[in-house]
Amino acid sequence: MPVKKSAVKQYAKSLLQSTLLPLCYNISRREPLDKKLILFADSNSDTLPETMESLRAELSSRGFTCEDWCCDLSKAGIVGGLRFMCRFMRRYAVAGGVVVCNYFVPLHACKKRRGTRTVQIWHSCGAFKKFGYSTPGDVSSHFKGSVSKNFDIVTVSSPACIPAFEEAFRLKSGAARALGVPRTDVFFDDDFTQSCRKKLYENYPELEGKRLILYLPTFRGDASHAYSIGVGEIVQLRDKLPDDCVIAVREHPRVRNGKVELDRLTTNELLVCADMLISDYSSAVFEFALLMRPMLLWCPDLGEYLSERDFYLDIQRDMPCPVVTDKAELLTKLIHELDSPDLTGYRAFNDKYMSACDGNATKRAADLFKRKDTQHNG
């Protein structure tokens, strides 16, 4: 997108943030606060993101009224997007809590009521590629609002990740808490694993008896112009692998017309079924590491990525698996890790970056919405 057009778009967002959305909020804030009303909000999808499903179910079981406020603003159009945001602001004004897992700009359009607790359960684990205010471009310099000012609590996967999230969101000390990532609880549930394998083989019987290699690359570019790098090289390996191996490719949802194979299963369901994960800079490596199964990072643009975005860690030193940048080594490294993986570094990796992901993260996140009768409703 040309710089001038992008600047106009960002200034328009800032104007909306400072005028119409606060007006919608203030019209409704005179109404009583409903402490049992929790809004699950997302502006990247028309349906509830998988990241929020377990927390929504837990809060519902505890007697909370949960409402989904999800709209893919990139597809909604100007009128549809404005209608969604204005309606959200009116519910936000009376809600006891709001949960988000991505950037959700309307949440920070005005000063919220003290009685409303907002919780960010960010969609990725660990602290890998830089994001938010840590890297140029994630938050446009032309955007004059905030993407984080109303967060009360941001849940992270371990104490080691707190500094990264404090920097990325410009949080006050204590707002980021190592409570774990609710989405990871299923990795400790044997029944979930068995049900996923059953679902996989029922939908794709040709995979039974095969070793499944899952390729999950992240995207490059910005949210509206996302693309992948390295997919072609992975696809070319299919004819060179042993007969009992299958590679499934699932590009990032932001990549238009990207490959999404085995689409009858969610990403979480595929992760627990996979015998090996190949990625590049996706946070899925942190989740998969919990399973203590081999991984490989295919990073043909590592030098460029380091200069343009960078990481919170040293990718060559801190990752527990091989990092491949040369296509000539890709097949050999893949087969070696699949057949003779060295998992000795995975335990230390999990202890450092995933220590709060122990199967109980959802309950801890739900406990954040416990209320005292004397809480201020202003």
Residues 171-200: pLDDT tens digits?
999 999 999 999 999 999 999 999 999 999
Q: What is the largest CA-CA distance in the chain?
A: 66
Count CA within 13 A, CB hemisphere, residue 133.
Answer: 16
Q: Are strands 245-249 and 276-279 parallel, antiparallel or unpaired?
A: unpaired
* Domain match, 280 and 315 both: yes
* Domain match, 100 and 197 both: no
Chain centroid to Cα 5, Å, comes to: 28
254 domain residue, yes or no: yes
Percent share of the chain, pLDDT over 90: 83
Query: Is 50 exceeded by the pLDDT of residue 1?
Result: no
Query: Is 70 exceeded by the pLDDT of residue 281?
Result: yes
* Domain match, 27 and 116 both: yes
Domain that holds residue 108: 3-183+361-367
Strand partners, 136: 139
- Contact criterion met (CB below 8 Å) for 71 and 49: no
pLDDT digit string, tens, across residues 42-76: 999 999 999 999 999 999 999 999 999 999 998 89
372 domain residue, yes or no: no
* Mean residue pLDDT across the chain: 92
373 domain residue, yes or no: no
> Where residue 242 sits, what CATH number does that domain have?
3.40.50.12580
* Domain match, 320 and 237 both: yes
SS3 96: strand
Query: Is 80 exceeded by the pLDDT of residue 5?
Result: no
Average pLDDT over residues 123-152: 88
* Domain match, 178 and 284 both: no
* Domain match, 143 and 195 both: no
Chain centroid to Cα 247, Å, comes to: 23
Strand partners, 245: 211
Average pLDDT over residues 339-358: 96
* Domain match, 178 and 196 both: no
* Domain match, 205 and 338 both: yes
Residue of 163, 146, 145 lying closest to 154 (CA atoms): 163
Q: Looking up tokens 């909604």, which residue turns up?
A: 76
Give the per-residue pLDDT at 254: 83
Alpha carbons 95 and 89: distance in angstroms, whole number: 10
DSSP 34: E
Cα Rg, the chain, nearest whole Å: 21
